[in-house]
């Protein structure tokens, strides 16, 4: 798409409304595809969404509590109780013909009525916007994981149990996260996940959680020529760390297999080393995470203790400081990493 076409879309009110709905996840699948088609195959859509994110950022900056149920009644009652008047005199000394020097008088009630409208708007719309946006993002994320679950089932049916694309590297001390340790090779566990994209079992867009604004969808590339996501930010999810020792018997129907990104990594996919690792994934403002189980169900849990025997799906028992060389130790260790 050339600059002229992009500018025309930017100035089109309907295109702006459709783009806002797309960005907030308020469109159905057909409407979303229409927006993607309208914006073309380049980076125009990514750039437009980035601009929207910057514009909407003030609404996300602070936590706004839900308004009390009687907000409107309280404001209107205060307005009704006000009987004072407030003279508003012209700032200019010039007096127009037919207008007294005293200027018009407005009642305090009139002014408070205007202020009340603004207060009601801010008190109701802003938290409502935040709630609607969060719920929409959670729903889209959950649907993404359902698509991943269906693709995983299709892969197992066609090819059998997934053989780790990383071979035996994890058994030889390789790291699953970028590391500063000299001589330690790094292999991303997402190579196993990418098989679902490469074999056209799951669309690449399904690996982009709308709750992670720093992440970005894959550009159109020949998936057959790739063995992993071109950019770590193309994949918003964590999956079980597969090693050559992993076998079909290690999975049970309710065992977690995919989830929102582990809190062990930051937005740049580097290990958090400042000692303030949150309990939950940060994909949904830290309030919880979507989790896909082996049998295809998706749940939203407010804690990561949803594995076998209440296992923490992001951590290995007994490990407190992570370097990227950790491995599942027990049958109950889900240990989901990107």
The domain ranges of the chain are: 3-61, 144-337
Does the pLDDT at position 121 exceed 80?
no
Mean pLDDT score of the chain, rounded to an integer?
Answer: 75
Q: Which element (helix H / strand E) includes 9?
A: helix 3-11
* Mean pLDDT, rounded, for 18-31: 72
- DSSP assignment letter at 175: B
Q: In what order do the strands lie in the sheet with 298-301?
A: 298-301, 289-293, 256-260, 237-240, 336-337
- What pLDDT, on the 0 to 100 scale, is given for residue 301? 93
- In 10 A of CB 282, how many CB atoms? 20
- What pLDDT, on the 0 to 100 scale, is given for residue 133? 72
The encoded tokens of residue 26 equal 């308020």
CA distance 1 to 169: 43
- pLDDT band of residue 3 (cuts 50, 70, 90) is very low
Given the DSSP bridges, would you call strands 85-87 and 105-107 parallel, antiparallel or unpaired? antiparallel
Q: Is 114 within 8 Å of 257 (Cβ atoms)?
A: no
Does the pLDDT at position 207 exceed 90?
yes
Most confident region among 8-17, 167-176, 311-320 by mean pLDDT: 311-320
- What pLDDT, on the 0 to 100 scale, is given for residue 134? 77
Residues 38-48: b if buried by 16+ CB within 10 A, e if exposed: bbeeeebbeeb
- What pLDDT, on the 0 to 100 scale, is given for residue 283? 92
- Residues 140-172: tens digit of each pLDDT: 899 999 999 999 888 888 877 665 655 555 656
Does the pLDDT at position 86 exceed 90?
no
Does the pLDDT at position 281 exceed 90?
yes
- Residues 246-275: tens digit of each pLDDT: 655 556 778 899 999 999 998 888 888 766
- pLDDT band of residue 312 (cuts 50, 70, 90) is very high
CA distance 46 to 328: 37
Which residue matches tokens 């370097």? Answer: 323
Q: Which residue has the higher pLDDT, 143 or 16?
A: 143
Does the pLDDT at position 47 exceed 90?
no
* Mean pLDDT, rounded, for 62-75: 60
- What pLDDT, on the 0 to 100 scale, is given for residue 78? 64
What residues have CB less than 8 Å from 260, skipping those under 6 apart?
Answer: 141, 209, 211, 236, 237, 238, 281, 283, 284, 289, 290, 291
Burial class (CB in 10 A: 0-12, 13-18, 19+), 119: middle
* Mean pLDDT, rounded, for 127-144: 77
- Residues 287-309: tens digit of each pLDDT: 999 999 988 899 999 999 998 88
Handedness of CA 17, 19, 25, 28 (dihedral sign): positive
Could you give the dihedral angle defined by the CA atoms of residues 21, 231, 224 and 49, in that order, rounded to the nearest 10 degrees? 20
Q: Which residue has the higher pLDDT, 325 or 23?
A: 325
Q: Which element (helix H / strand E) includes 148?
A: helix 108-159
Q: Which residues pair with 336 in a beta bridge?
A: 240
- pLDDT band of residue 4 (cuts 50, 70, 90) is very low
Q: Which residues pair with 238 in a beta bridge?
A: 259
The encoded tokens of residue 295 equal 């049998």
Which residue matches tokens 């009644």? Answer: 73
- What pLDDT, on the 0 to 100 scale, is given for residue 12? 67
The encoded tokens of residue 128 equal 């409502």
């Amino acid at each position: 798409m050339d600059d002229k076409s992009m500018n025309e879309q930017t100035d089109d009110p309907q295109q702006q409304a459709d783009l806002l709905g797309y960005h907030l996840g308020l469109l159905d699948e057909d409407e979303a595809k229409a927006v993607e088609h309208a914006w073309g195959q380049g980076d125009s859509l990514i750039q437009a969404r980035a601009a929207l994110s910057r514009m909407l950022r003030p609404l996300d900056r602070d936590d706004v509590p839900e308004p009390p149920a009687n907000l409107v009644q309280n404001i209107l009652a205060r307005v009704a109780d006000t009987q004072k008047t407030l003279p508003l005199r012209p700032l200019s000394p010039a007096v127009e013909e037919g207008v007294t020097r005293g200027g018009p008088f407005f009642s305090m009630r009139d002014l408070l009525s205007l202020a009340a409208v603004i207060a009601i708007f801010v008190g109701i719309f802003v938290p409502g916007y935040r709630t609607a946006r969060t719920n929409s993002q959670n729903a889209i994320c959950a649907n993404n994981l359902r698509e991943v679950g269906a693709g995983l089932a299709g892969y197992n049916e066609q090819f059998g149990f997934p053989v780790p694309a990383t071979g035996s590297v994890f058994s030889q001390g390789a790291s699953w996260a970028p590391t500063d340790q000299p001589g330690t090779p790094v292999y991303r566990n997402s190579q196993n996940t990418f098989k679902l994209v490469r074999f056209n079992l799951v669309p690449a867009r399904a690996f982009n959680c709308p709750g992670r604004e720093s992440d970005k969808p894959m550009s159109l590339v020949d998936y057959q020529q790739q063995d992993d996501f071109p950019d770590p930010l193309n994949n918003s999810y964590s999956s079980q760390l597969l090693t050559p020792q992993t076998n079909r018997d290690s999975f049970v129907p309710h065992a977690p297999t995919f989830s929102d990104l582990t809190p062990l990594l930051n937005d740049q996919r580097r290990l958090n080393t400042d000692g303030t690792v949150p309990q939950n994934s940060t994909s949904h403002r830290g309030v919880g995470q979507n989790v896909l189980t082996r049998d295809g169900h998706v749940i939203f849990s407010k804690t990561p203790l949803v594995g076998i025997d209440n296992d923490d799906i992001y951590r290995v028992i007994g490990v407190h400081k992570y370097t990227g060389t950790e491995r599942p130790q027990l049958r109950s260790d889900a240990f989901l990493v990107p």
